[in-house]
A and B are shown apart, each in its own frame.
Chain A
Amino acid sequence: MDEKDLVKRILEGDQYAFKELINTYQPLVSHMVGRLIDNDLDREELCQDVFIRVYDHLGKFKFDSKLSTWIATISYRMALNFLKKDKRNPMEEDLDHVAFYIGVEDNSYERDDFVKFIHVLINQLPISYRAVLTLYHIEGFSYPEIVEVMDMPEGTVKNYLFRARKKLKELSEPYLGKEIHEL
Chain B
Amino acid sequence: MNRNQFEQEFDRALRSAPEFHLPKDFSDQVVNKIDHRTEIEQRRQAIFMVAGIVAFLLLSAICLAIYVDMEVLQQLMGISGWGVLTGLLVVAIQLLDQNLLHHRRARLG
Contacts and interface: CB of A to CB of B under 8 A. Distances in A.
Interface of A: 15, 18-19, 22-23, 26-27, 30-31, 33-35, 40, 43-44, 47-48, 51-52, 55, 111, 114-115, 117-119, 122, 133-134, 137-138, 165, 168-169, 172-173, 176-177, 179-180, 182-183
B67 interface: no
B15 A138 contact: yes
Contact of A26 (B12, B26, B28, B31): B26
Nearest to A48: B30
Contacts of B17: 27, 31, 34, 138
Contacts, number: 87
A19 B33 contact: no
Given A19-B27, A30-B21, A137 B14 contact: yes
Contacts of B19: 34, 119
Contacts of A176: 1, 6, 9
Contact of B33 (A43, A48, A119, A138): A48
B29 interface: yes
Contacts of B9: 111, 114, 176
B27 A43 contact: no
Nearest to A176: B1
A34 B15 contact: no
B13 interface: yes
Contacts of B3: 182-183
A138 B14 CA distance: 7
Interface residues of B, number: 28
B16 A52 contact: no
Contacts of A40: 20
Chain A interface mostly helix, strand, loop or mixed? helix
Q: Give me the 9 closest cross-chain CB pairs, A-B, nearest first.
A: A34-B20, A118-B13, A22-B27, A34-B18, A19-B27, A137-B14, A115-B13, A51-B30, A179-B1
A134 B20 CA distance: 14
Nearest to A136: B14
A179 B2 contact: yes
Contacts of B16: 115, 119, 138
Interface string B14-55: 111111111100111111011001000000000000000000
Contacts of A169: 10
Which interface residue of B6, B9, B12 has the most chain A CB atoms within 10 A?
B6
Nearest to B30: A51
Contacts of A19: 27-28, 31
Contacts of A55: 30, 34
Given A118-B10, A169-B10, A176-B1, A44 B31 contact: no
